Homo-oligomer: A and B are copies of this chain.
Amino acid sequence: MQRIVFTTTPGRIIDEIVHSASPSSVIVLADENTSRLVVPNIDSETVASAPVIIIAAGDEAKTITTASHVWDKLSALGATRHSLLINVGGGMVTDLGGFAASTFKRGIEFINVPTTLLGAVDASVGGKTGVNHGGFKNEVGVFNEARAVVLSTAFFNTLPQIELRSGYAEVLKHALLIGVDEVNRWLDYPIELFPYESNRLLGMIETGVNFKLHIVEQDPHEQGLRRCLNLGHTVGHAFESFALMRGTPVPHGHAVARGLVAELILSHLKCGFDGSWLHRLAKRILALYGNQLFTCDDYPTLLNLMHHDKKSVHGEINCTLLTAPGQFVNDFTVEDSDMCTALDIYRDLME
């Protein structure tokens, strides 16, 4: 069972976890940013004495080529089946590092140290690892949990506002799945104000992470219940891939925020989700993330991306929808015509 630690002294916790794992060697994986801004500031003997594999930052580097580079470095560093990899970074680093570790010599242990709000709430729980491939998000990967995930707001201090907002979308998604009070709590939180309210934020992250853990424990391989966590993601992934294809990538969370609006519109149309909630959320998301730039000419491309989504069983568009905050319906099959209607309304709402 994966250990999740919320802490204000991440370095000490990492040392403890490594000590109890007693690996044959320890290697740190970080990207160009976190290797410079975060790794030197983790107060950990283990991290300080470990070799660091540095990869390029950003989703464009989340490829099998980068994973290959990590395998090469692990081999060159003499890593064995009993070595341990510490992934220090955002979701890209923890996803790719988790995949590289899970497949190196058929699997070595790894620890995730998320350095972004998005990584803390989303990418580090549930054992999803992977890389993008052939233009599709996370097309190649495995389900495999880290030995431990070390969560600390200490790392968010160097985080640009754009990344903090990206994480906010994922916690908002959790809030929508949890219920009315949690949605209110997040809609009231001033994520645009800096410095953030550290304690309030950590408490909210903990609620979101624990909710996700609760769901994932009941359904580790995404056979049923867990699909609720895909709320906003069928359309969100399509928006993200679409932006990438056009050469104007948007952060994952920004795409998910917009995907949430589109799927709440569908929830309103098909499941009776309350219109005033929809408008309140759409307004907040528009204020934080701006609108999505596409026209009705782009619908066929967007629909095609949705039909290719991993959640699709027989090529249909598959969404999680809400009847109300906290009440979700998984595996709702959405007709192309309904999706187009939702995209029409989305363009009106988000202008």
Interface residues of A (CB under 8 A from B): 24, 64, 68, 71-72, 75, 78, 80-82, 99, 102-107, 128-130, 133-134, 136, 138-143, 308, 310-315
Select which of B75, B78, B310 is within 8 A of A139 by beta carbon: B75
A314 and B24: CB pair below 8 A?
yes
Q: Give Cα A118–Cα B139 distance, bound, in whole angstroms.
A: 32
A82 and B313: CB pair below 8 A?
yes
Copies of this chain, how many?
Answer: 2
Chain A interface main SS type: loop
Q: Give Cα A161–Cα B130 distance, bound, in whole angstroms.
A: 41
Max count, chain B CB within 10 A of own CB: residue among A24, A99, A134: A134
Q: Give Cα A81–Cα B311 distance, bound, in whole angstroms.
A: 7
B140 and A142: CB pair below 8 A?
no
Contacts A64-B64, A80-B310, A106-B128 known; list 12 others, CB within 8 Å.
A24-B315, A71-B134, A71-B140, A75-B134, A75-B136, A75-B308, A78-B308, A78-B315, A81-B310, A103-B141, A103-B142, A106-B142
Q: Give Cα A128–Cα B82 distance, bound, in whole angstroms.
A: 17
B107 and A142: CB pair below 8 A?
yes
Q: Give Cα A310–Cα B78 distance, bound, in whole angstroms.
A: 10
Do A72 and B134 form a contact, CB below 8 Å, given A80-B313, A313-B24? yes
Do A102 and B142 form a contact, CB below 8 Å, given A75-B136, A80-B310, A133-B68? yes
